[in-house]
A and B are shown apart, each in its own frame.
Chain A
């Protein structure tokens, strides 16, 4: 895989989450909590996970998903997985 810098990936992930949740990127803060602040439901979460997996050809382990509570957590997890 072509080496992309993580700042670029962060931008892409944010755009992807914005598209799925239909929340404008401007209102999407990295620290906002998905369920409490943004009203993301389990279906959207599944869609986000599936889209990220497809886009970056990674596998996000099922047991990690409940620990992901914000965009910041998504970045961290994805970077961790991609570094491996």
Chain B
């Protein structure tokens, strides 16, 4: 079953339909690749000097905050989950961040194209574990393992 790779492209409109996060907290610009078989997605965030967080982080030295790289990974994870579990994503569940283990290797700055690769290590109806790698110009800038929960809105009182 090789060669089953879906060369999907999701533009910003599609992303805005899916992600509960909105401006100014949207950190994925497009989905470049989606592969249901290997449970993998490749997403892009164009980092520009116009990004509002550069105003304070840091004046004269624009570095994308690590927590926002994590957020971009988490949002990419939601997009991947949506592709793999469309029947659940359709119900617009809440996504909870459970645990993050991350490493940061290089700073990300204005002008960088942040490529975020997310891979589903374990995906279930109620949550999952994602391995995420962020790269700039082919070099790894950050790696993380993200644990998240998925809960339907009307299920809040149940365990």
Chain A interface (Cβ within 8 Å of chain B)? 35, 42-43, 46-47, 49-50, 53-54, 62, 65
Contacts and interface: CB of A to CB of B under 8 A. Distances in A.
B98 A50 contact: no
26 contacts: A35-B159, A42-B126, A42-B149, A42-B159, A43-B96, A43-B98, A43-B99, A43-B127, A43-B147, A43-B149, A46-B122, A46-B124, A46-B126, A46-B127, A46-B149, A47-B98, A47-B99, A47-B129, A47-B147, A50-B121, A50-B122, A50-B147, A53-B122, A54-B121, A62-B125, A65-B124
Contacts, number: 34
Contacts of B149: 42-43, 46
B128 interface: yes
Contacts of A35: 159
Chain B contact residues (Cβ within 8 angstroms of A): what range? 10 to 19
Contacts of A62: 124-125
A46 B121 contact: no
Task: Give the secondary structure class of A's interface.
Answer: helix
A77 to B, nearest CB: 15
Name, among A49, A50, A53, A54, the residue most crowded by chain B CB atoms within 10 Å (CB to CB). A50
Nearest to B123: A62
A47 B147 CA distance: 7
Contacts of B121: 50, 54
Nearest to B151: A42
Name, among A46, A49, A53, the residue most crowded by chain B CB atoms within 10 Å (CB to CB). A46
Contacts of B96: 43
Of all A-B residue pairs in the complex, the 5 with the closest CB atoms, nearest first, are A43-B98, A50-B129, A50-B122, A46-B127, A62-B124
